[in-house]
Amino acid sequence: MPPSHLIIACQLRRERLLAKLDPHTPAAVFAGPSRGRNYAANTYRYRASSHFLYLVGMGIEGALLYLSDGEAMLFVPPRPDDDDLWHGPSPNREQLSAQLGLSIRPLTDFAKHAQGKRVATVPPFERGDHASVCALLGRPHLQDEALDGPLLDALVALRLPHDEAAIAELKRAALASVQAHRIGFEVTRVGMFERDVCAAMEAALARAGCGTAYGSIVTAHGEVLHNHDHANELRAGDLLLADVGAETDTGYAGDITRTWPVSGRFSTTQRELYALVLEAQRAAIARVNPGTSYRDVHLAASRVIVKGLVDLGILRGQVDALIEDGAQALFFPHGIGHLLGLDVHDMEDLGDRAGYAPGRTRSEQFGLSYLRLDRELAPGMLVTIEPGFYQVPSLLQNPGRVGLSDKALDRNVLAKFADVRGIRIEDDVLVTETGHEVLTGALPKAVNDLEALVGVTASL
């Protein structure tokens, strides 16, 4: 069962959602089914829809939260007769109702309740689920912006600023993530494999009662941005990039990246580029304040990186012109970060509805096109700040892909930095009324002192 502060928060969230919805249009929010791996009964660990978790506080496989006539009720599927044998005792409907503060009905009664009504819903992100949802809701299809749009907008408006209960859970996720990174840093040794460090970090999360919020990236090849393989041996000159985050048992995510030298000491070139990425991160975090455009946070970090690369002689040209051309994307091809909450990319199941303010769309420019968030920051929003530097062979072979002429790049200088394949530094930053709070930095024994441990801070 979820903690009581979360149960109470969910009641308030449901009330606030009901107040935002048209009373004549009922809404259904599905928990979603479990998924088989290789056959139906051998399931992945169940993970309910984040919208359902937001409103109910816990996942209940196959359940449906129904909001109608100013009231919320939960429809739950029947348990098989022998469920007690395989899964143990579970609360009956009355007990569950008392625990969640929700009226509970059998799912088999749902058709009766919804009969003749046009029911708005959050369309499942898996297309394969659409047919069963349509059948249950009596809807011909799930492409109906007029019907569903107001529900989705209301959910986005509610979920963008985190409430106190959410922040408490997000701090738990941050703490567990920090401890995993601390352990990953401590166990790393030359001759280990990436999987050894990953196993130690994920075990730390498991001991904290958490899972992983996303596929862990623990790699000596950080230039592959979403590298989920862990088969490489760690050599003395390698940097290890670890992007690992906890998911609490209540569904909230942490998201931290650190990059450390396998040997425990940076080379001079590694230190120079690490210091540059760290400077970019600090510049970006300093701009996380209410009212700031997140796109400007991205551009602030980009400016530091471009200026630094010009100073190092890797890029050639005027800083302003290079930024205008998107030169940063040659070495920093992704966005500065994203929303964080119940999803590691919060509400990405809704496309850009949460990430992009109404009327805004993705840039066509390579690099900026990957920016997942383009909104003015507001108190309660949690974002990641994660600049990086990568040498991606396929980009460097063709700078034109980034819109850059070959002469803007000094390959002779770059060749000296061959021992840096990928560096990323990522923290989770909460927008407060007066500025920001780094959730992954204010914790005891944080890995933020990594910089001190490996001698970067002194060089800044």
Binding mask 4-23 for a second copy (x = CB under 8 A): --------------------
Tell how strand 27-30 and strand 120-121 pair up.
Answer: parallel
Kindly state the smallest distance separating residue 263's Cβ from a second copy, in Å: 21
Residues 17, 158 contacting (CB under 8 angstroms)? yes
Burial class (CB in 10 A: 0-12, 13-18, 19+), 396: middle
Please identify, using beta-carbon distances, which residue of 307 and 334 lies nearer to a second copy. Answer: 334
Please identify, using beta-carbon distances, which residue of 200 and 283 lies nearer to a second copy. Answer: 200
How far apart are alpha carbons 441 and 305 in whole angstroms?
22
Kindly state the smallest distance separating residue 116's Cβ from a second copy, in Å: 27
Within 8 A by CB and 6+ apart from 410, the residues are 313, 314, 315, 316
Within 8 A by CB and 6+ apart from 426, the residues are 243, 255, 256, 257, 258, 281, 337, 384, 385, 386
Candidate list 8, 19, 36, 190; residue touching a second copy; CB under 8 A = 36
Asked if 44 is part of the footprint of a second copy (rule: CB under 8 A), the reply reads: yes
How many residues in total does the chain contain? 460
Number of residues that bind a second copy (CB under 8 A): 61
Kindly state the smallest distance separating residue 230's Cβ from a second copy, in Å: 8
Asked if 458 is part of the footprint of a second copy (rule: CB under 8 A), the reply reads: no
Binding piece for a second copy, criterion CB under 8 A, among 21-29, 38-46, 232-240, 282-290: 38-46
Candidate list 121, 177, 179, 227; residue touching a second copy; CB under 8 A = 227
Asked if 362 is part of the footprint of a second copy (rule: CB under 8 A), the reply reads: no
Q: Produce one character per residue of 120-144: b if its CB has 16 or more CB atoms within 10 Å, e if not.
A: bbbbbeeeeeeeebeebbebeebee
Give CA separation, 198 vs 129, 392, 422, in Å: 33, 23, 17
Q: Single out the residue of 287, 274, 285, 294 nearest to residue 389, CA to CA.
A: 274
Candidate list 202, 325, 386, 427; residue touching a second copy; CB under 8 A = 202
Binding mask 228-267 for a second copy (x = CB under 8 A): x-xx------------------------------------
Kindly state the smallest distance separating residue 302's Cβ from a second copy, in Å: 17
Asked if 199 is part of the footprint of a second copy (rule: CB under 8 A), the reply reads: yes
Asked if 89 is part of the footprint of a second copy (rule: CB under 8 A), the reply reads: yes
Candidate list 5, 87, 93, 445; residue touching a second copy; CB under 8 A = 87
Asked if 80 is part of the footprint of a second copy (rule: CB under 8 A), the reply reads: no
Burial class (CB in 10 A: 0-12, 13-18, 19+), 89: exposed
Asked if 200 is part of the footprint of a second copy (rule: CB under 8 A), the reply reads: yes
Within 8 A by CB and 6+ apart from 92, the residues are none
Binding mask 308-347 for a second copy (x = CB under 8 A): -------------------------x--------xxxx--
User: DSSP assignment of 97-153, as one string?
Assistant: HHHHTSEEEEGGGHHHHHTT---EE---SSGGGHHHHHHHHT-S-S--HHHHHHHHH
Give contact residues for a second copy (rule: CB under 8 A). Answer: 35-45, 47, 49-50, 84-89, 125-129, 131-132, 193, 195-196, 198-200, 202-204, 206-207, 209, 214-215, 221, 223-228, 230-231, 333, 342-345, 348-349, 392-395
